[in-house]
């Protein structure tokens, strides 16, 4: 059972995991350096625990000590309890849902192990997507619509960062994912495992998503690009198909997370 700690001093060094949450750059480097991530909201905290991540500490409003009793009973991590206003002083932001927990990261698998098993496979590749909200939404779509794993390039946002895990509704924890330095390596490993790479793009020579779906490929990897520039031209040149989701005239493009939902559904 977690040790319940009534915090007497907000400067308590044991609260270190929960400080300065507003400073994205600081948090991203601190979390990577210390091998931790934060989960926000009772549902997201529970999903991280259910996915087998080891809790380091909890910071809860009093009501969540009972609300998360099933999680707390299974750990000996400390559980710091504070009223809402004081949690805000520690974290630097207003915590609507009153529950935070820090967890240990696990080492990432290599891509070959994610695409190695035979049979039907759907992989989402996120090329340099830096927006945590979009990355979280894509994981949620992937989990809902039968995608087997997500691959991110080195520059893409951290799926375990608080904003991404929150928008994913905790679906980042159970979804297999990894990070690979660049597209060259990703495309090579996909081809070695008979996965057909396609890019979702507005390119003039693209086939439509309906045409791709009609081909009934058993093993597919979908590459999605950034909100600004889209999929890198070098990547577009290397994939087997460039694929367009047809839109009404006058609309430039879909948001990338919306594009993933349409793509996963049409090819499920």
Site residues, ligand SAM (CB under 6 A): 200-202, 224-225, 227, 230-231, 244-245, 247, 253-254, 256, 259
User: Which residue lies nearer to ligand SAM by CB, 68 or 244?
Assistant: 244
- Report in angstroms how near the CB of residue 129 gets to ligand SAM at its nearest: 8
Helix axes 132-144, 256-266, angle to 10 degrees: 10
Q: Which residue is nearest to ligand SAM (CB)?
A: 230
The backbone torsions φ and ψ at residue 256, rounded to the nearest 5 degrees and listed phi first, read -60, -35
Q: Measured from the CB of residue 233, what is the shortest distance to ligand SAM in angstroms?
A: 10
Closest CA to 133 of 108, 159, 152, 155: 159
Bridge-based pairing of strands 196-200 and 36-40 is: unpaired
**Integer Cα distance of 14 and 261 in angstroms:** 41
Q: Rounded CA gap, 210 and 243, in Å?
A: 9
Residue 171 or 201: which CB sits closer to ligand SAM? 201
Question: Smaller CB distance to ligand SAM: residue 95 or 209?
Answer: 209
- Nearest approach in angstroms of CB 188 to ligand SAM is 21
Q: Measured from the CB of residue 213, what is the shortest distance to ligand SAM in angstroms?
A: 13
Locate 149 and state its tokens. 């794993």
| Nearer Cβ to ligand SAM (160/259) | 259
State whether residue 24 is helix, strand or coil.
Answer: helix
- CB of 109 or CB of 233, closer to ligand SAM: 233
CB 193 → ligand SAM: shortest distance, Å? 22
Say if residues 186 and 128 touch (Cβ distance below 8 Å). no
Least distance to ligand SAM, CB of residue 169, Å: 21
Between 218 and 227, whose beta carbon lies closer to ligand SAM? 227
Q: Hunting for tokens 């499920």 — which residue is that?
A: 268
- In the complex with ligand SAM, the residue whose CB is nearer, 16 or 203, is 203
Burial class (CB in 10 A: 0-12, 13-18, 19+), 6: exposed
Q: CB of residue 264 vs ligand SAM: minimum separation in angstroms?
A: 12
Give the Å distances, CA to CA, from 190 to 99, 114, 181, 198, 214: 39, 10, 14, 11, 21
């Amino acid at each position: 059972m977690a040790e319940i700690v009534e915090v007497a001093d907000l400067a308590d060094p044991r609260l270190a995991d929960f400080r300065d949450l507003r400073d994205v750059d600081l948090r991203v480097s601190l979390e990577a350096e210390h091998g931790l991530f934060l989960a926000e909201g009772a549902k997201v905290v529970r999903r991280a625990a259910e996915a087998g991540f080891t809790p380091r500490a909890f910071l809860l409003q009093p009501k969540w000590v009972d609300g998360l009793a099933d999680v707390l009973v299974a750990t000996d991590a400390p559980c710091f309890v504070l009223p809402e206003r004081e949690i805000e002083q520690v974290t630097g932001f207003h915590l609507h849902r009153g529950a935070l927990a820090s967890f240990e990261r696990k080492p990432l698998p290599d891509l070959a192990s994610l695409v190695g098993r035979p049979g039907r496979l759907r992989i989402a590749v996120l090329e340099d997507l830096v927006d945590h909200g979009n990355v979280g939404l894509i994981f949620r779509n992937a989990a809902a619509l039968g995608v087997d794993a997500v691959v991110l390039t080195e520059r893409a946002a951290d799926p375990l960062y608080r904003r991404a895990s929150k928008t994913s509704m905790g679906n980042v924890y159970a979804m297999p994912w990894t990070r690979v330095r660049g597209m060259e390596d990703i495309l090579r490993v996909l081809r070695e495992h008979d996965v057909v790479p396609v890019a979702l793009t507005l390119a003039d020579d693209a086939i439509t998503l309906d045409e791709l779906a009609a081909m009934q490929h058993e093993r597919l990897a979908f590459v999605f690009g950034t909100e600004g520039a889209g999929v890198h031209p070098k990547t577009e040149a290397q994939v087997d198909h460039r694929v367009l989701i047809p839109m009404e005239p006058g609309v430039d493009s879909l948001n990338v997370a919306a594009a993933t939902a349409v793509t996963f559904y049409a090819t499920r």
